Structure 1
Amino acid sequence: MKQMRAFDGPTASSAGAGTEDADGSRLVGSDRVLAVLKELARYPDGVKLEELTRVIGSPKPTVHRALGALRRAGFADQDAHGRYVLGDEFLRMAFAHHEARPEHVRIRPVLEALAHRFGEAVHYAVLDGREVVYRAKVDPPTGAVRLTSTVGGRNPAHATGVGKLLLAHHLDGLEAVEAWIGATPLVRRTPRTLCTAEDLDRDLQATRDRGYAVDDQENEDGVNCVALAVYATSPGAPSGAVSISALAYRTPLRVLVEAVGEIRDLLGPLAGPHR
């Protein structure tokens, strides 16, 4: 199966980034154990102790002790080739927690219905600072090309439909947008990415006026989407947003926009009080 390049822009820490905490001090005790656990997640095929030691930036015996603590808890394991991997107990807990989240239980059937109807990838995402985090994803049932976005993946909020939909509920006016951007420039993902406060503010205002957001190849060339708010936990504020992310040549943006009413109908009560 042909794969598009990863569009969820992983923001995993780079090599050595786990050696210090937020204030620059060396990791010690439980902090180091958690750093080892987090680093293990970056190696689905496993990682040798020597490589893990280099990446974590701690002495080999110290990393080995951290791995021992994780193995005793079932959070890490060692395969027949001596590579360390995340343990089955950790995976069981993570998946059980994810599947049991109230919002996930309610949203999953809707995502499946949307993916079946449009034959494109459907996501549920929440806002986390300057980024969105994908909480759920359903791939289309058919199609030779699929997006490589993943649950837990992140993207810049200003470059995505789900992000702009949620920002429209948080940033009302140019001053609020400017304060949110602050001194850190907005990253330009494609030539169409909105990177100025003025452009983003206009787009957020349009999103509020029409009740949905669009991503016109602003996060990835060749991929567009339409996003709508989801009210899974409260009728007063969206818990997140649902987007249909489509390959532009297969499902043009105008097709998604024309189907917004149908999307709202499929969302049902999750579309909120103003549907």
Structure 2
Amino acid sequence: MKHTQTFEGSTDLGADGSTGADSSRLVGSDRVLAVLKELARYPDGVGLEELTRVIGSPKPTVHRALGALRRAGLADQDARGRYVLGDEFLRMAFAHHEARPEHVRIRPALEALAHRFGETSRYAVLDGREVVYRAKVDPPTGAVRLTSTVGGRNPAHTTGVGKLLLAQQLDTLADVEAWIGSTPLVRRTPRTLCTAAALHGELRITRERGYGLDDQENETGVNCLSLPVYATSPTIPSGALSISALAYRTPLETLVGALDEIRAVLGPLSEPHR
């Protein structure tokens, strides 16, 4: 699938630094970032011709962007002449990821839960209308391929972690309506909650019970139980831990029934300290 990167209202810079007439093109810095993001979609490398088609900019401008990235060590060319992310980019990304205190502290719990249930465990934080996955551990065998990856995003209202964290912020129906605004909630599956009233009701229940559920609302056939994580503050969740499972193999009832065990594995990180 092609992913054309466009930035509304931007213009492309010509070789002399002037701007062209096509307002849908990318300016220099936007173009470089668009090329960098696109390279991440091709772990086996991508040729200049294909990258040019996907980005939607002229070949010389994409080539200049690649040159800038290569000089910075953020892109490289393999033996076949295809472009890949550079070692410096990977070094920075992994160094930054490993240095996050909540990631370091939550990792042992994720590993223990993945082994215990034979399902995928994850840690995510809320970012506006989406959740961002900071850590993920797959079980030794039988892992299901989920849409989430470390650094990936999903709509907050479709996920157990997202609804759990939203429940801490959106108390009233008016709060939910203001959060939704003029952009409709995306429907990921037939079970996705897509109205303010439905989401408000779910958030109220989530606050009362203290954990979040995703009943095949983000991916058909996959459910999830989520608990808050207090890794950086004694009173405000830094994010949420989740166990995502194949519904036929590990039903929600099984996860809810093991709630005390999951909390015990998470330990002090699972409870606020007032």
Cα distance in structure 2, aligned partners of 1:144 and 1:160: 19
Q: Is the 8 A contact 1:18 1:55 kept in 2?
A: no
Cα distance in structure 2, aligned partners of 1:25 and 1:146: 35
RMSD between aligned residues: 2.1
Q: Is the 8 A contact 2:133 2:153 kept in 1?
A: yes
Counterpart residue number, 2:241: 242
Cα distance in structure 2, aligned partners of 1:33 and 1:246: 38
Q: Choose between structure 1 and 2 for higher RCO, CA contacts under 8 A separated by at least 6 residues.
A: 1
Counterpart residue number, 2:210: 211
SS of corresponding position for 1:201: helix
Deviation per residue, 1:190-219 (Å, 9 max, x gap): 121111111111110111001001111111
Counterpart residue number, 1:9: none
Equivalent AA in structure 2 for residue 170 of structure 1? Q
> Kindly tell me: are residues 30 and 113 of structure 1, through their superposed partners in 2, closer, same or farther at Cα, counting changes over 3 Å?
same
Cα distance in structure 2, aligned partners of 1:145 and 1:231: 28
Cα distance in structure 2, aligned partners of 1:201 and 1:179: 12
SS of corresponding position for 1:155: strand
Counterpart residue number, 2:254: 255
Per the TM alignment, residue 77 of structure 1 is displaced from its structure 2 partner at its CA by 0.6
SS of corresponding position for 1:190: coil
2:89 aligned with 1:103:
no
Equivalent AA in structure 2 for residue 17 of structure 1? T
2:162 aligned with 1:163:
yes
Q: Is the 8 A contact 1:19 1:57 kept in 2?
A: no
Cα distance in structure 1, aligned partners of 2:264 and 2:199: 28
Q: Output the TM-score relative to the length of structure 1.
A: 0.89
Q: Is the 8 A contact 1:44 1:85 kept in 2?
A: yes
Aligned length: 263
Deviation per residue, 1:58-117 (Å, 9 max, x gap): 332222122112112211011122211101111111111101111111011110011111
Alignment of 1:1-275 (within 5 A): 14-17=3-6, 21=10, 26-143=25-142, 145-147=144-146, 149-273=148-272
Gapped regions of structure 2 (runs ≥ 5): 12-22
Per the TM alignment, residue 28 of structure 1 is displaced from its structure 2 partner at its CA by 2.6
Equivalent AA in structure 2 for residue 97 of structure 1? H
User: What fraction of aligned residue pairs are identical, expressed as a percent?
Assistant: 80
Q: Is the 8 A contact 2:148 2:154 kept in 1?
A: no
Per the TM alignment, residue 16 of structure 1 is displaced from its structure 2 partner at its CA by 4.1
Cα distance in structure 2, aligned partners of 1:215 and 1:132: 13
Q: Output the TM-score relative to the length of structure 2.
A: 0.89
SS of corresponding position for 1:134: strand
Per the TM alignment, residue 140 of structure 1 is displaced from its structure 2 partner at its CA by 1.1
Per the TM alignment, residue 53 of structure 1 is displaced from its structure 2 partner at its CA by 2.0
Q: Is the 8 A contact 1:121 1:146 kept in 2?
A: no
Cα distance in structure 1, aligned partners of 2:83 and 2:263: 45
Gapped regions of structure 1 (runs ≥ 5): 1-11
Cα distance in structure 2, aligned partners of 1:219 and 1:32: 32
Cα distance in structure 1, aligned partners of 2:171 and 2:255: 26
Q: Is the 8 A contact 1:224 1:248 kept in 2?
A: yes
Cα distance in structure 2, aligned partners of 1:146 and 1:57: 31
Deviation per residue, 1:230-273 (Å, 9 max, x gap): 11111121111001001111111011011111111111121132
Deviation per residue, 1:164-197 (Å, 9 max, x gap): 0010011011110111111221111112111111
> Kindly tell me: are residues 127 and 67 of structure 1, through their superposed partners in 2, closer, same or farther at Cα, counting changes over 3 Å?
same
Per the TM alignment, residue 129 of structure 1 is displaced from its structure 2 partner at its CA by 1.3
